[in-house]
Structure 1
Amino acid sequence: MSNNQHKKKNSFSYAISGIIEVTKTQWNFRFHLFAIIAVIISGCYFKVSTSEWLALTGVIGLVLVAEAINTALEYLVDLVSPEWNELAGKVKDISAGAVLISALIAAITGLLIFIPKTGLL
């Protein structure tokens, strides 16, 4: 195996390790994974269109990426500032806020797609 192939293999391993870490340590990430399962089941049941699947996939990805970045920022802040620091707290609050924004966008997207299919509107 060439040095370049070895580096690519290692970078993929590190990425998988990161996904495992965030899944094992972050309750909110696991919650979103269960929500994804519910969305997939609902999407199959209601036979959502290709464009609706695209929208759902996009917002699902947005939420998972936001959660992962939030976790990485929390770890970094804890490393740099192990004791309480107002600015460190703001960094954590802002990154958590980004997750909330992405989750709200995902929820609105889901409601716009699924509510009409239920006959409630």
Structure 2
Amino acid sequence: MKDKKSVVGFRFAWAGLKAVMKKESNFQLHLTATAIVIAAGFFFHLSLIEWAVILLTIGLVLITEMINSVIERIMDFTQPGYDERIKEIKDIAAGVVLVTAIISVVVGALIFGPKVMQLL
């Protein structure tokens, strides 16, 4: 019985991931950036540690974008009309994604910057 619940839970999780990939343009943008970074990682032959840092950073950006989407949907559901307090909640959630994205750019620059400089 427990295995069946795990499979159902996985199905729900997969449905949620598909929903965010299909409906959230910012998530799609992050996925495009992810593909570019992974391609660059293969091109520059990243070390295992570099891959670990890059993948953790990508994961953090995608996770924060998903959490932001959840917060926005909850706020829209609970308060369909405009409310300054809801706007602030949504702005803060978006700010979390922005901070994570900025950190990811810095991490990317630290890892890929010296490799790009060697090519020049």
Flag whether TM exceeds 0.5 (same fold): yes
Q: CA deviation at 1:7?
A: 1.6
TM-score using structure 1 length: 0.94
- Give me the whole-angstrom Cα distance separating, in 1, the residues matched to 2:112 and 2:99: 20
Identity of aligned residues (%): 39
TM-score using structure 2 length: 0.95
State the one-letter code of the partner of 2:105.
A
Structure 1: which 4+ aligned runs deviate by more than 3 Å? none
Aligned-residue CA RMSD (Å): 1.2
Counterpart selection for 2:111 from 106, 110, 113: 113
- Give me the whole-angstrom Cα distance separating, in 2, the residues matched to 1:75 and 1:26: 11
Q: CA deviation at 1:54?
A: 0.7
Instruction: Provide, for residues 87-121 of structure 1, a one-character-per-residue CA deviation record: whole Å limited to 9, x for no partner.
Output: 11111000000000110111110011111001269
SS where residue 119 of structure 1 aligns? helix
SS where residue 84 of structure 1 aligns? coil
Aligned to 1:84: 82
SS where residue 117 of structure 1 aligns? helix
- Give me the whole-angstrom Cα distance separating, in 1, the residues matched to 2:59 and 2:8: 23
Structure 2, unaligned runs of 5 or more: none
- Give me the whole-angstrom Cα distance separating, in 2, the residues matched to 1:30 and 1:5: 32
- Give me the whole-angstrom Cα distance separating, in 2, the residues matched to 1:36 and 1:103: 12
Matched, 1:49 2:47: yes
SS where residue 64 of structure 2 aligns? helix
- Give me the whole-angstrom Cα distance separating, in 1, the residues matched to 2:87 and 2:117: 44
- Give me the whole-angstrom Cα distance separating, in 1, the residues matched to 2:59 and 2:105: 13
SS where residue 81 of structure 2 aligns? coil
